[in-house]
Amino acid sequence: MNNDERRVLLLDLVEKLNRAGSWTGETHIQKAIYFLSILRNLDLGYSFVLYKYGPYSFDLKSELTFLEATGILERKESPPYGSHFSNGKHASSFRSLVSAHAQGYERDIAWTIDTFFRDHDNVSELERYATALYALKNFEGTHVELADRIHQIKPHISKDEALSAINRISKELV
Partner 1 sequence: MSKKVQHEIRDVIHTFVYFNNDEKKVIGSRYFQRLRHIKQLSMTNFVYPGAVHTRFEHSIGTMELAGRAFDVLFDHKNRHSKSVEQLKEQLDDNILVNWRCHLRMAALLHDVGHPPFSHATESLFPVGENHETMTKRIIMKSELTDMLQNGCDIPYNPSLIAKLAVGPKYFQSEPFKNWQLLLNEIIVGDAFGVDRMDYLLRDAHHCGAVAGKFDHDRLIQTLRILLPPRKIGERSEISIGIEHGGIHPTEALLVARYFMYMQVYFHRVSTAYNTHCERFVKAFLNVQNGGFWPIDPDNFIKFTDNEIFSEIYKASQNSLAVGYLEAKRIQDRNHFQLAYEFRPKEIHMFAVDSVKAELEDKLANDFAETDYSVRLSRNQGGKRTPALKDDFSVWNRRVEPDKIEFGKTYSKILDELVSPSQDFVIADRQKKNDIKTCIEEFIITKMGKEFLEEDNE
User: Residue 118 interacts with partner 1 (CB under 8 A)?
Assistant: no
Between 123-138 and 26-39, two packed helices, what is the crossing angle to 10 degrees? 40
Cβ partners under 8 Å of residue 126, min gap 6: 27, 28, 31, 53, 54, 116, 117
Interface mask toward partner 1 for 152-171; x: CB under 8 A: xxxxx---------------
Residues paired with 73 in a beta bridge: 87
User: Residue 141 interacts with partner 1 (CB under 8 A)?
Assistant: no
Q: Judge contact between 167 and 152, C-beta under 8 A.
A: no
CA 79, 82, 85, 88 dihedral sign is positive
Task: Give the interface segment with partner 1, choosing from 14-22, 96-104, 111-119, 165-173 (CB under 8 A).
Answer: 96-104
Task: Give the interface segment with partner 1, choosing from 30-38, 109-117, 122-130, 162-170 (CB under 8 A).
Answer: 122-130
Binding site for partner 1 (CB under 8 A): 2-4, 7, 47, 49-53, 56, 58-59, 62-63, 65-72, 75, 77, 79-83, 90, 93-94, 97-99, 122-124, 138, 152-156
